[in-house]
Structure 1
Amino acid sequence: MIRKWKLVSLLLMVFPQFLLAQPEFSDCFINKTLRIDYLLNGTDQTAEVIVKQLKKEPYYGGSHVNLVEPNPMGTYRYQLMDEASQEVIFSRGFSPIFQEWQTTGEAKRRKGSFYQVAIFPFPKKICRFIIEQRNWEGEFETVFSTEIDPKNYFILEEKVPEYAIEELSVQGSPQTKVDVVILPEGYTADEMDKFVADAKRMIKVLFEAEPFDGHQQDFNWYAVKVPSMESGTDVPGEHSYKNTAFNSHFYTFDTPRYLTTQDMLSIHDAASVVPYDHIYLLVNTARYGGGGFYNFLSITSVDDSLAEKVFIHEFGHGFAGLADEYYSSGVAYSDYYNLEVEPWEANITTLVDFKSKWADMIDEATPQPTPRTAKYNDVLGLFEGGGYSEKGIYSPVMDCRMKSNGPNDFCPVCQKSIEQVIQWHCK
């Protein structure tokens, strides 16, 4: 067992950023959501934005204190800037499916278009909405900017859908908790009891894994009962198609086990009935698979023998922005990481700026790089291999919840990052 690190020391390392000045929520926002739906189009080298709609929604689940990220994660970022003062009053990093598609061979041959949704508290004043993308050198570049007038009568204010809601676990005010909405994909109206049971089962196993086992009181969980016409999901490679609420499918990027959806319009319409920070889709199938995208979406099948472990792994991606630590599985990406740039994810490194990662957590007696031999099975070190690459990228341990379906828990480096994200939401 990898030795446990004292949370006190981890928190001291993680939370100095909270001392940075933040905008006053009451000066800038009201406690509702402004949602911007847009298309993210482009190729492997280009990105463009087309706004589809703006909506005012009744619930906002985020912190009223931590509004601007001092150390943004994600391959993209959206910001709100007060037009008068030029002050950034809100920012969030995220990693969309579009960004992964940009690294595929298909993106070199043609344009693609992906539906996106940005959510933030509803502004009181005229603001500028900005979308940025990390370039190959790791720096953010603006790809879109537009003025947002909160008094614009083209901002829709529609009645939210009348779906039944089950509060699986509500521990306090949305602004001081991590709010997760779980949606059912491929469950018919007669299968809603199964959906709720599946959701409860997944939550239970999450809170049995470190470091989530000490944070049950920091989460609110909601299940929204959205029925599908048919059970299951699409499996294009086997010519099997189902009429479901959120149009999920396997064979994403022609990878059989990769389970995703692009129907973010339907997903966010369904989620709007509760306050939420993160959305998790449970897919009613026994086929192995899932996907997770930071501050965007997590999705997993429920009836495969490894479904519970996949649920935890994908939440590591979607909620905490953790990278995959495996390096030998077949993926559709090429040149995913620039080896001359330090990755933004906390649990991998190219050694360009290893001091900013877990260098100070490694015992002096542990060799760097650390051999992948049995002697170092339970040691925190510097192991070559990670981020889909056998060479040039390093990960913290021999095996972790972000590498394989073996371990039950996350490694100390992943735990540190998860702790940071939880506290960010709950302050």
Structure 2
Amino acid sequence: GTLRAGEELWLVNEKKLQKVLQVSLYMGATRELADEIPAGNIAAALGLDQARSGETAIDTTLKDKEVGAFEQLHYVSEPVVTISVEPKNPKDLTKMIDALRKLSIEDPNLKVKINEETGEYLLSGMGFLHLEVSLQLLRENYGIEVVTSPPIVVYRESVRAASQVFEGKSPNKHNKFYISVEPLNEATINLLASGKIKEDMDSKEMAKILRDEAGWDYEEGKRIIAIDENLNVFVDKTSGVQHLREVMDTVIQGFRLAMREGPLAHEPVRGLKVVLHDAVIHEDPAHRGPAQIYPAVRNAIFAGMLTAKTTLLEPLQKLDIRVPMDYVGNVTAVITRKRGKVLDMSQVGNVARVIAEISVSESFELASELRAASAGRAFWGTEFSRWAPVPDALLTDIIMKIRERKGLPKQLPKLEDFLS
């Protein structure tokens, strides 16, 4: 096909008609206008403002036919560093909000949200350098100077063992939920992260994949009723509980709310299997509303987490460094000093390639330290590697710092806090 200016296209994912105002080709950093772009070229189309990364645009004559879309883009990385931004000039606030929205469209790994308690605009990216580049684009492309807070590394809460079954009671004591938690295995987390397992897929198909690829029991796999965005699953193992079906949506929402802020430091929970074993539900709808169900579900989950070797997961970055052999010792010393680990090392001629893993929380000022250690001769790239448990020696200190930053009580939560 050929793409021409003035033509209308149908956006498959958005289900909208959009008009192409201009077509052009990129020649290096410049954009050259053209009347039409034939097939085989990488083109720029102006006017498709509703399109997002992964969109499929087709001819309008095909919109009512079963035309498959391109597969959605999947990102293996997650935003793990957050800063708050505000314009130097308060008059630029509206302009800044619009610019941040556009930046997040251009770069799906950049997340923008508002802290509802403080009114701050929060920008989250995959590392310090990612956010630095984004702020540079904000200045150069949109002419906005901003003031930023010190970067905050985002952690996840998880468990390392299975818990016993805990009873969660509603505030009015009329509803009871019997829940246990356990960690998901790595194979299950990978299936969820890759999108191979989704909440809305057929339960039998889901159970078959989990059985064959992650070692699940087939019957248990069929009973998964919710999967949240941080890769946690909710399994309903109950049978014949009166009135449970009527409140199940509220129970699932209670599960999602609990997964957003865990018990240790109100950080998101990751890689958790929550199992509902039994429940007692009050027959009167007035006594089983969200205000009763949410705390009951949350308290049982949190009690389970606190007895299942709960921990924080920290994001790790993978470093791929190329450096002259003379400076390898200096570079590996920087990595070791920052709680990093050298995974692999190879040599081609006089240049060494060092593959290493380092905690994102330790990577602040990494660029300047690597340059200093190698006299500016090291070249490196970074990418998100994985989530890993925080070393036990640092765990309490990190939890207390996060709790202090969030204005939470300066003591670790106890099991009794969630049992009534």
RCO comparison, higher one (Cα < 8 Å, 6+):
1
Tell me if both proteins adopt one fold, taking TM over 0.5 as the criterion.
no
Q: TM-score scaled to structure 2, two decimals?
A: 0.27
Q: Which has the larger radius of gyration?
A: 2
Q: TM-score, normalization: structure 1? A: 0.26
